[in-house]
Structure 1
Amino acid sequence: MDPTSSSSSSLRWRILRQALIHRSDSQSEAEIKRVSRKSTQGFNLIPCQVLDSSPESEDSREASLCYSIPIAASPKLYLTQRVDNCSDLNDFEISNRHNIDNTGLVCQWPSEEVLAYFCMSQPDRFRGKRVIELGSGYGLAGLVIAAATEASQVVISDGNPQVVNYIKRNIESNSMAFSNNTSVKAMELHWNQHELSELTNTFDIIVASDCTFFKEFHKDLASIIKVLLKANEPSEALFFSPKRGDSLDKFLKEIENVGLHYVLTEKYDEQVWKRHETLVKGDDESWPSYDKSHCYPLLIQITNYHK
């Protein structure tokens, strides 16, 4: 090992330090890019433009983004979210209090864009259906479903109350983009909640992205999927998650343990696969540390019956 290079663990601590003190260290930027899995533009499936400032807030930690859904006659979507590297200690205190992770505030994760693109590409799958997004972050996929698929209801949920506040603002900002026949609402939902009588066996479709990384949440996540899906009618959960070592495999074990079934698909969309192959070859410098196991989301279709 080169003694002048830093270990991956120390570099990740530097990433955290920079996020907390809001100051960059130019000497470590190259090394941090080497270890970080973040991308400057993700899979680049839905055109996105960063606006000059947030129309709803003068908070310097926030930015407003405009997403152009790439199908005919689709409205633009406007999302307010945190700018990169603007976490503070209060964010972590809230995460600890609610026993949740803080990833929903960090950025718009690439798997969320893939989920949104996949759902947008299959409107018939969602038309007239009741849909809930779990661990939604800023809500891009849920908003795309509400704007482009004619679902009857879209619930966009997260366990972090700060994130849910952003979802509420983003729903309000895009209310004119939704069909009059589509009900859209935000919800604070913790996967270990026991009192869910109003939601039990309610949804035709559950969607989620990048929700299987933390193994301590696997059991609760598998259980709430079973609770939320309709029991006596065809229903499904569509998850997009990279393998991330053995994390996805362990989650799928929990899915089997609660009596659900799944189908794992690697190549589920030609455009996503084409973009993936470009990144694997290293032809795109926007994602220098792209790694299939950690970055490419597999499609997991979960049902209460064998497909």
Structure 2
Amino acid sequence: MQLNTTDNDNSITPAKARWKLLSSIISSSDTNSLVIPTKFSKRNHQGFNLFSKIKLDHSLLDKVNNDNKVENVTLEKKTLTNSEIRLDNPTSKECHEWYSYYLDDNDCINIRIKIPNYYDMKNNLYSKYSGFLSTGNICVWPAEEVLAYYSLNNSHIFKNKNVCEIGGGMCALAGLFIAARCQPLSVTLTDGNPDCIQNIQYILNANPKLSSTDLCGKQMIWDCDTHYDITYDVVICADCTFDKQMHSHLLHVIRSILKKPSKNNPEECLFLLCAPQRGDSLQEFISLLKSQGDFNVKLLERYDDFVWKAHQQNIAENSEHYVPDTHYPLIMQAYWRV
């Protein structure tokens, strides 16, 4: 099955093309011949390759869900970029791979990547967790890697703090890295989709060295009518502002779960967001946040020299695959006013 865009290829909008593709997938089970035009894909830019990634023998790592430990894991001698994490068996009902993200030469975290396929896309479309809550099922997005990288380089933010990642998707990469390296009191990894929480639990089982940290996965659905009981010192989030219909729900979650600071230290409690502009969606959320009158907000465009250099290089190369509005994440910090 191939998406035909030859007749009016120059006039069709990306949104219409994606809907046409989705319609074709739902009406056909022939996924082996599926071709997606790269001009309509948001994943053409594969991130900033901030971490070395090595593909693992997934058959060995899958065993950890029986005994919760990993022994004699075999590594393929190849470092992968994000673009090389791909679908190997497009017709299987459960398709995933394991990768090790290296924090440095000696330390790594094993991440279970679930690759979307025909069955997942069809089921998610009709699921109550579809749309916004299912976007994290697809891959590790660039903003999530940038947030993880930024967190490691600013570990003091999380030391001795109770941390919560919201909208963590299938991997909650930033939260995992914080648990591994930033000496928090606790880390809670959340998403609205229960499939994501199950995958996060697989990841926790495959990383027994993280057991020394108070670390857990928990389902959290964003809803203005929901009462949230637990508060956290630091709440983090990656690329979760693109759906404007969810802005009010996201704001309610932040106001509910971000702990109020002491008067002596107004910046001890922080909401940390990493997200690209995506048109005016990020700015609209920031405006909504500021309109409440009880947050001080900082928006950082240049927050790390290495990421900034990669961003500038992508612009200089004038790559059609790199669109700063979509691909370059900004860092937003929000503190309670006291």
Fold conserved between structures, TM > 0.5: yes
Q: Which residue of 1 aligns with 2:307?
A: 272
Aligned to 2:283, which of 239, 245, 249? 249
SS in 1 for 2:58: coil
Within 5 A, what are the aligned runs for 1:131-142?
131-137=163-169, 138-142=171-175
Within 5 A, what are the aligned runs for 1:63-212?
63-70=97-104, 73=106, 75-85=107-117, 87-94=120-127, 96=128, 100-137=132-169, 138-176=171-209, 178=210, 180=212, 182-192=213-223, 194-197=226-229, 199=230, 202-212=231-241
- Tell me, yes or no, if the aligned pair for 2:175 and 2:189 is still in contact at 8 Å: yes
Unpaired stretches in structure 1, ≥5 consecutive residues: none
- Tell me, yes or no, if the aligned pair for 1:92 and 1:102 is still in contact at 8 Å: no
Deviation per CA, 1:12-70, whole angstroms, max 9, x where unpaired? Answer: 235535766433445xx5xx212212046411001112335352179651111111113
Deviation per CA, 1:138-158, whole angstroms, max 9, x where unpaired? Answer: 111111110011111000000
Q: Which residue of 1 aligns with 2:9?
A: 5
Within 5 A, what are the aligned runs for 1:221-260?
221-233=250-262, 234-258=268-292, 259-260=294-295
Question: Displacement of 1:4 after TM fit?
Answer: 4.9
TM-score by length of 1: 0.86
- Tell me, yes or no, if the aligned pair for 2:166 and 2:237 is still in contact at 8 Å: yes
Which structure has the higher relative contact order (CA within 8 Å, separation 6+)?
Answer: 1
Compared CA separation, residues 132 and 36, structure 1 to 2 (3 A): same
Tell me which amino acid in the other structure corresponds to 2:198: N
Question: Displacement of 1:93 after TM fit?
Answer: 2.5
Question: Displacement of 1:85 after TM fit?
Answer: 4.5
Which range moved further: 121-130 or 143-152? 121-130
Root mean square deviation, CA, Å: 2.5
Compared CA separation, residues 19 and 42, structure 1 to 2 (3 A): farther
Percent identity (aligned):
29
Tell me which stretches of 4 or more aligned residues in structure 1 moved more than 6 Å: none
- Cα distance in structure 2, aligned partners of 1:255 and 1:24: 45
TM-score by length of 2: 0.78
- Tell me, yes or no, if the aligned pair for 2:45 and 2:321 is still in contact at 8 Å: no
Unpaired stretches in structure 2, ≥5 consecutive residues: 1-5, 64-91, 263-267
